[in-house]
Amino acid sequence: MTAAAQARTARSSGPPIPDHVSIWGELADVDHELRHVDVAGVRTRVLRAGSGPDLVLLHGTGGHLEAYARDIAGLAEHFRVTAYDMVGHGWSDLPDVPYTVDVLSDHLVGLLDVLGIARAHLSGESLGGWVAAWTAAHHPERVARLVLNTPGNIANKPEVMARLRASTTTAVEDPSDENVRRRVAWLFHDTGQVTDELVNLRRSVYSRPGFRAAIANTLVLQDPATRARFSWDPSWVGRITAPTLLLWTDHDPTGGLDEAEMLRGWLRGSETSDVDLHVITGAGHWPQWEKPGEFVDVHARFLTGAPA
């Protein structure tokens, strides 16, 4: 339980107030800005908070910046935090082009330019981790330190690609409570943390006009032929020179610690790269939501260069 939640509980004469009340309740006492910016013609939704070194947070497939709602307040104590909806996601524009990793990376670099960020720490979850790693390999001058948070199916397992493609397509084509709740629950080890608010937010995204085409453009990365052009591989991973933290969990449905160690080996193929591994227990594909305290603490230590 966070300090704020403990304080609320201590003052309450009734039942304890839950640690998580709502997504925006997490930011109730945090100065922040939510706006849209133009990135090469793409209207892009951005949330910013805090001050200090720049830290940019990247969500996963079909996601949106609220994936980090439980972390922004804590991270903003140490960093100038930027969370955003990637092109084709959330409430950013949905241009009808395949959202391959290079396209998503170009959008990220364009966003850094628009916001006047010369160099930033990047932390990406799932697809966001893939995009962050690609950016660190191809634009090393823009990345200070790198956190790859459950970056997802490093081994390119066909069954994981098929499951993600099927569950996401079903939820977007019929964004009913049942279908979207099942898709969101897939991200969690403790499915009791899947709130109605989070499900309905995702339903709103999936119901946007044009989102069916957008998700098809996103899921091209779950097609083996397209994925092969960008798949995790030592040929490009080994070019990453930024100090890197692999943030894994013990219940990630996309890949186990064997994949973390494989990726760690590829990263260490670069003589100048420094690679750490931290495993969050009792969490699934969204440790930033299930274990926000540990998630924030690990980021603060690693990104400031403090001892593990």
Q: Which of 7-11, 53-57, 115-119 has the lowest mean pLDDT?
A: 7-11
Model confidence at 308: pLDDT above 70: no
Q: Determine the pLDDT at residue 24.
A: 87
Q: What is the pLDDT of residues 63-83, one digit of tens each?
A: 999 999 999 999 999 999 999
pTM of the model: 0.93
Model confidence at 2: pLDDT above 90: no
Helix (H, G, I), strand (E, B) or coil at 44: strand
Q: Determine the pLDDT at residue 290.
A: 98
* DSSP secondary structure of 1-29: --HHHHHHHHH-SSSPPPS---TGGGGTT
Q: 64: which DSSP letter?
A: -
| Helices marked H in the chain | 3-11, 72-75, 101-115, 127-138, 158-173, 177-185, 196-206, 211-218, 224-227, 234-237, 257-267, 287-290, 292-303
Model confidence at 15: pLDDT above 90: no
Contacts of 297 by beta carbon, 8 Å cutoff, 6+ apart: none
Q: H or E stretch including 84?
A: strand 80-84
All structural domains of the chain? 22-303 (3.40.50.1820)
Query: Mean pLDDT over all residues of the chain?
Result: 93
CA distances from 118 to 133, 145, 167, 250 (A): 17, 13, 38, 35
| Pairing mode of beta strands 54-58, 120-125 | parallel
Return d(Cα 129, Cα 123) in angstroms, integer: 7
Which amino acid appears at position 147 of this protein?
V
- Of the segments 11-15, 23-27, 133-137, 302-306, which one has the largest average pLDDT value? 133-137
Return d(Cα 36, Cα 43) in angstroms, integer: 6
Q: Determine the pLDDT at residue 269.
A: 66
Return d(Cα 198, Cα 66) in angstroms, integer: 9
Specify the higher pLDDT residue, 88 or 274: 88
- CB contact at 8 A, 145 and 303: yes
